[in-house]
Amino acid sequence: MSVLILAEHDNKSLKAATLNTVMAATQIDQDVHLLVAGFECQTVVEQASKVVGVSKVLVADNTVYEHQLAENISKLVVELAGNYSHVAAPATTTGKNTMPRVAALLNVSQLSDVIKVESPDTFVRPIYAGNAIATVTSTDPIKVLTVRITGFDAVASEGGNAEREVLSQVIATEKSRFISEQLAESDRPELTSASVVVSGGRGMGNGDNFKILEGVADKLGAAIGASRAAVDAGFVPNDLQVGQTGKTVAPDLYIAVGISGAIQHLAGMKSSKVIVAINKDEEAPIFQVADYGLVADLFEAIPELESSL
Amino acid sequence: MKILVSVKRVIDYNVKVRVKADQSSVDLTNVKMSMNPFCEIAVEEAIRLKEKGVADEVVVVTVGSKACQETLRTALALGADRAIQVEAEDGLDSLSVAKLLAAVAKEENADLVVMGKQSIDSDNNQTGQMLAALLDYPQATFASEVVIENGEAQVTRETDAGLQTLAVTLPAVITTDLRLNEPRFASLPNIMKAKRKPLEVKTVSDLGVEVGCNVSIVSVSAPAERAAGIKVGSVAELVEKLKNEAKVIS
């Protein structure tokens, strides 16, 4: 049996999260197919067919799939699912939106946020904000999963040569309609795939002060993140949020600035390879997970850090 | 318009989670339990829609043991009109819960179901989507703004890329994200009043639903602890360590 992966893309490019999901899939079975459902997404299809480990790319290119609404994409996946033992997607907002619908339509469970594949029917996933790790086994005929991308390395994006199959199914949805989109524009690397992340917390004081992180981020080629406290306080938009209810990141270097280290924030970043904490409160829980802690006023330390990089 | 809100009783978000010594599950004995924070946001949103005159009834439902009635009373104190407890074992899997909620939604003929995007115990983020699929309703997940007009809900969603606005025709399922609203606190008079609001108990067989699931837990373990690191005395020392010891910057 094979694994079908719902590819993450924006009709223009294949998103890196797909590569980590392919890695998870190759640990389940060697036959991995990617479904690219979108509109005018030819570039994505080309990128998808070069991904190492992918043997086939299924293409559903139609205006009805342009915004990847859960209602019709889930039905499309269900139509294909009978040929597969596993159906997976990265645990991004798109994957999380669509895959539970797929599972319900197939009358099977969904295993969310898988961080490790033990065997084709046994998987590891964090629960309670990562404060407990569950190993679960499923006897469902088709296993539906979302993959936490920080749990798996990415496969190479070039070097493969998958065959392509164009799908003819056109499934429209009348009940849901796309109205608009406000994309966060940034020249920085994507938060979830950046190798360095600089995050600010409530200690930043206000949204304007986040600018002082930019200099450091520029020098390190880093993405900028934030704690939920900073998002709740309105300093920065929610798409920067790292934590249980935001994004999960695992960069080589995570620099937490003015972040106290609430459990729910740690859930989103404690798999980072090296953690640096800069906080003026030496009792802050963030220091318990930091490899390098600096007790200092961030408004002095950050400019100094920028100039010494 | 009738709104159905589902709520879940979970470990309080301030409680430090401990794994049982036999690795069977998380230890919940004598632990403070509360309404799941995302469910509080769902209850608040429904009540606000009622206060605006958009909705005329808010029905709150939960699936679980008798202890969950406490959570329903909390929702009633916040302003829900009546409550339904579907008596079942605690910790039922998401698909079974979605099937039970679907049966209740049909029975109640609800125009809108509002629920939290995930519970902070199992962290699955799936019951709302499953419910929508079972009912063949459209869904708007991770909502940060909801406007109801002309028989549809315009919902702004928090996505990885930013914000997306969708229009879904009613009936529909909406799941709440953190920034949708800030839930109120129940006042003492409202807590007293809530005790007299109707709370109906239904069983799984009343609803004609078969529950059960093919996923079983092999073990639950504590996560690997990160070894405590060191404190550095200055920015210069930090940079030196990152360059020469951790080798993460050059």
Return the domain boundaries, chain A.
2-166, 196-308
The residue in chain B having the minimum alpha-carbon distance to the alpha carbon of residue A186 is: B161
Number of other residues whose CB lies within 10 A of the CB of residue B172: 24
Cα dihedral value A96, A246, B139, B126, nearest 10: 50
Q: For the segment A193-226, what is each residue's pLDDT rounded down to a tens digit?
A: 899 999 999 999 999 999 999 999 999 999 999 9
Give the C-alpha separation, A148 to A47, whole Å: 21
Q: A with B: how many residue pairs have Cβ under 8 Å apart?
A: 252
A244 and B17 in contact by Cβ < 8 A? no
Q: Hunting for tokens 């917390």 — which residue is that?
A: A201
- Class level of CATH domain A196-308: alpha beta
Q: CA-based angle B179:A196:A98, to the nearest 5? A: 45
3-class DSSP assignment, residue A38: strand
Distance CA A39, CA A69 (A): 12
When the pLDDT of each residue in chain A is averaged and rounded to a whole number, the result is: 96
pLDDT value of position A176: 97
Domain A2-166, CATH:
3.40.50.620
Predicted pLDDT of residue A162: 98
List, as residue ranges, the binding site of A for FAD: 202, 227-228, 241-245, 258-265, 279
Interface probe for B, chosen from A8, A124, A128, A185 (most Cβ of B below 10 Å), is A128
Distance from CA of A273 to the nearest CA of B (A): 9
- Give me the amino acid identity at B100: L
pLDDT over 70 percentage in chain B: 100
- On whether the B2-221 domain is CATH 3.30.390.10, my answer is no
Give me the torsion for CA of B63, B64, B66, B70, rounded to 10°.
Answer: -70
Neighbours of A154 (CB within 10 A): 17
pLDDT of residue B224: 85
Measured between CA atoms, how close is B193 to chain A, in angstroms? 32
Mean pLDDT across chain B, nearest whole number?
96
The tokens describing A116, both together, are 């490790």
Cα B21 from chain centroid? 28
Taking alpha carbons only, the member of B160, B161, B157, B159 closest to residue B176 is B157
Annotated binding site of A: 202, 227-228, 241-245, 258-265, 279
Residue A199: beta bridge partners?
A: A225, A256
Give percent of chain A with pLDDT exceeding 90: 93
Tally of residues, chain A: 309
Residues facing residue B31 across a β-bridge:
none
DSSP designation for A151 = G
Whether the per-residue pLDDT at B147 is higher than 90: the answer is: yes
Question: Residues B102, B106, B107, B109: is their CA dihedral positive or negative?
Answer: positive
Question: Please, what is the angle between helix A211-220 and helix A298-308, to 10°?
Answer: 30
**Cβ atoms < 10 Å from Cβ of A129:** 21
β-partners of residue A86 are A3, A143
Cα–Cα distance, A277 to A43 (Å, whole number): 40
**Inter-chain residue contact A175 with B137, CB threshold 8 Å:** yes
Domain coordinates of chain B in residue numbers? 2-221
* Assembly ipTM: 0.94
- Chain A: give the shortest CA distance to residue B32, in Å: 14
Residue B159's Cβ-count burial label (10 Å; 0-12, 13-18, 19+) is buried
Does the distance separating the beta carbons of A184 and B162 come in below 8 Å?
yes
Structural contact between residues B52 and B9, judged by C-beta atoms closer than 8 angstroms? no
Structure confidence at residue B55 (pLDDT): 97
Instruction: Name the minimum distance, in Å, from the CA of A59 to any CA of chain B.
Output: 23
Report the Cα B22 to chain-centroid distance in Å.
Answer: 28
3-state secondary structure of A149: helix
Q: Is A253 helix (H, G, I), strand (E, B) or coil?
A: strand
Gap between the Cα atoms of A283 and B176, Å rounded = 33
Nearest CA in chain B to A285: B228
- Burial (CB count <10 Å: 0-12, 13-18, 19+), residue A211: exposed
AA letter at A154: A
Element (H, E) at B61: strand B57-64
- For residue range B210-234, list pLDDT tens digits in order: 999 999 999 999 998 888 799 999 9
- B109-138 pLDDT, tens digit each: 999 999 999 999 999 999 999 999 999 999
Torsion, Cα B66 B173 A248 A73, to 10 degrees, reads 130
Residues of A in contact with B160 (CB under 8 A): 92-94, 192, 239, 247
CA B123 to chain centre: 9
CB B197 within 8 A of CB B76: yes
| Backbone angles phi and psi of A216, in degrees to 5 | -65, -45
- Residues 129-188, chain A, touching B (beta carbon < 8 A): 129-140, 173-184
- Given an 8 Å threshold on Cβ–Cβ distance, is A136 in contact with B216? yes
Contacts of A290 (CB under 8 A, 6+ apart): A256, A275, A276, A277, B229
Partner residue opposite A74 with nearest CB, options B94, B133, B221 = B133
pLDDT confidence tier of residue A244, bands split at 50, 70 and 90: confident
Report the alpha-carbon distance of residue A111 to residue A100 in Å, rounded. 9
pLDDT for residue B247 is more than 90:
yes
Q: Is the pLDDT reported for residue A273 higher than 90? A: yes
> If contacts are CB pairs under 8 Å, which of residues 216-255 in chain A contact chain B?
220, 228, 231-232, 237-239, 244-245, 247, 252-253
With cut-offs at 50, 70 and 90, classify the pLDDT of residue A186. confident
Q: A116 vs chain B: nearest CA distance in angstroms?
A: 13
Contact A253, A196 (CB under 8 A): yes
Q: Classify the phi-psi angles of A257: left when phi > 0, otherwise alpha if psi is within -120 to 50, otherwise beta.
A: beta
| Residue B167 main-chain phi, psi, to 5 deg | -115, 125
